[in-house]
Amino acid sequence: MRLMRYKIADLDDLYLAITRLTTHSYRKDKSIGSRRRKYATGFFYRNEAGNRHFLITSRHVIVDEDNNHFPNAIRLYLHTDPNDLTKNEEFDLHLYEGTCRLWLESSVPNYDVVALPLQEDFAPNAHMTVFSDDFFFPAYYRLSLGHQVMTLGYPLGKWYDRVHNLPIIRSGIISSPYPIPYNNYPYCLVESRLHPGTSGAPVITAGPTRAYQFTKKETIKKEGWGPSPEEIKLREVRGKRYLLGINSRSFPFPKKQKLSDLNAVYFSEILKEFAK
């Protein structure tokens, strides 16, 4: 059977904001070794304030002191032909310049999110889209109880469409109130059957966004027919998809405990703190 050739235009834009990544160590000559040390997921983000681009992933993907994991570089796999999704190339990003780390992270210890700044020319022939601050959920609204979400990633580094290099979507629900920090950590819990390899994956609202306004800056008296400005704004909020956070790992910690299908998802808002 002859298979059709699919183009980038056939995809939802969000697919191109996500990348499979692997971690690597240097050889003796300081070149990047081909052996893959860890599989994970990352996504592209643009800081509106500084207009800089970053690769976002989990911190334990690129440095994990507890498991003696200290890679020197990560390798991305990106689409390079707008007319053929099967055309992909490898692009390497170094994690250090000499002994200085190149990634950015929170000043608070143990936050499992990092941002690696990207040079404009790091992948000149690759086709990517980016998340921006417009994807963050508005501060004056709340999601309804048990809201559905989806996680886009690369489970185990092999459970994905390897022909077209496209991630797998897993569904889930928010299990702790968003965005209230769980046990005072900047993440919520999401119930979903995820696997290693989806660390660093974006977690996005799924289906219609069920939101309500919990506070108002001012009260506007409604006169005549038609929706009020507040009602119009709420309709706009409900009509969008939102980047809620970054998948970290299975919960509870440590792994010795029985897995519960719960996952810690760090709030996307924390990117404003250090991805500058």
Over pLDDT 90: what percentage of the chain?
A: 67
Give the mean pLDDT of 159-172. 93
pLDDT in tens, 16-42: 999 999 999 998 888 888 888 999 999
Question: 8-131: which CATH topology?
Answer: Thrombin, subunit H (2.40.10)
User: Is residue 222 predicted with pLDDT exceeding 60?
Assistant: no
User: Is residue 182 predicted with pLDDT exceeding 90?
Assistant: yes
pLDDT in tens, 89-112: 999 999 999 999 999 999 887 899
132 Cβ contact list (under 8 Å, min separation 6)? 45, 46, 48
| Domain 133-274: CATH class, spelled out | mainly beta
Higher pLDDT, 260 or 267: 267
Instruction: Cite the residue boundaries of each domain of the chain with CATH code 2.40.10.10.
Output: 8-131, 133-274
Q: What is the pTM of this model?
A: 0.91
Which pLDDT value is given to residue 259?
Answer: 64
What is the distance between the alpha carbons of residues 116 and 14, in angstroms, rounded to a whole number?
Answer: 19
